[in-house]
Amino acid sequence: MTGTGTGTRAARGRPRSAAADRAIVEAVLRLLERGVGIDALSMEGIAREAGVGKATVYRRWPGKDALLLDVMRTLEEPPAEVRGTSVRDDLVEVLERLRQRGLAKRNSALLRTVTSHFRSHPRLWREYHDTVIRARRELLHSVLRRGMASGEIRADLDVELLGDLFVGPMLARAMLHDEGELPGGLAERIVDGVLEGARPRK
């Protein structure tokens, strides 16, 4: 787990224990899964749940928000490069990854809870966006730009807006609906529907 400006602080003296790091992060996840609200979370309660001293938690994170950022990072895998077979297939691959993440109950429930908290704290949301969301958006935008360069997608479209048209339906279902609303084949249906309107006009 890596540190950030508001996250993990450099350790002094003895090396940090990776086992303690994992225990603390898992403690936060368990508490949130039990329905403990963000406002009710405390560093003291997290330490008790993790079976460590409060000082052990504070040596790693200066406060709850910094810890929550690192917890969310543990649920995120760095976006893998797409295969580059075709723009359509690459877009399906990007959206299918979102669908799979939405089906992961732990990820989906925690995203709803923690994202809502982050959005109410602009500085925290900006850091989460810059360290987690931005890389995924840039991958999607690179595929769209390739499609524009190859003539598969209209070049007069706004890349950011077009990207939102692709991922918006999947994110809305993952965040707002039950897991039954993320059936197999959904990525293909979304991509084909949006591409129909994004193809160059004859």
Answering whether pTM is above 0.85, one says no
Looking at 39, 71, 103, the residue that finishes a domain is: 71
| Total domains, the chain | 2
CA atoms of 69 and 5, how far apart (whole Å): 11
Instruction: Work out the pLDDT band at 1, boundaries 50, 70, 90.
Output: very low
Residue 172 lies in a domain: yes
pLDDT above 90 coverage of the chain, percent: 47
Residue 56 maps to which CATH number?
A: 1.10.10.60
Same domain flag for 66 and 153: no
Mean of pLDDT values over 144-165: 96
Instruction: Work out the pLDDT band at 7, boundaries 50, 70, 90.
Output: very low
For 34-59, write each residue's pLDDT tens digit.
Answer: 888 888 999 999 999 999 999 999 99
**Over 60: is that where the pLDDT of 94 sits?**
yes
Write out the DSSP string of 58-97.
HHH-SSHHHHHHHHHHHT-PPPPPP--S-HHHHHHHHHHH
Cα 160 to chain center, whole Å? 18
**Mean of all residue pLDDT scores within the chain:** 84
Q: How far apart are the first and last CA of the chain?
A: 51
pLDDT at 131: 78
Same domain flag for 67 and 82: no
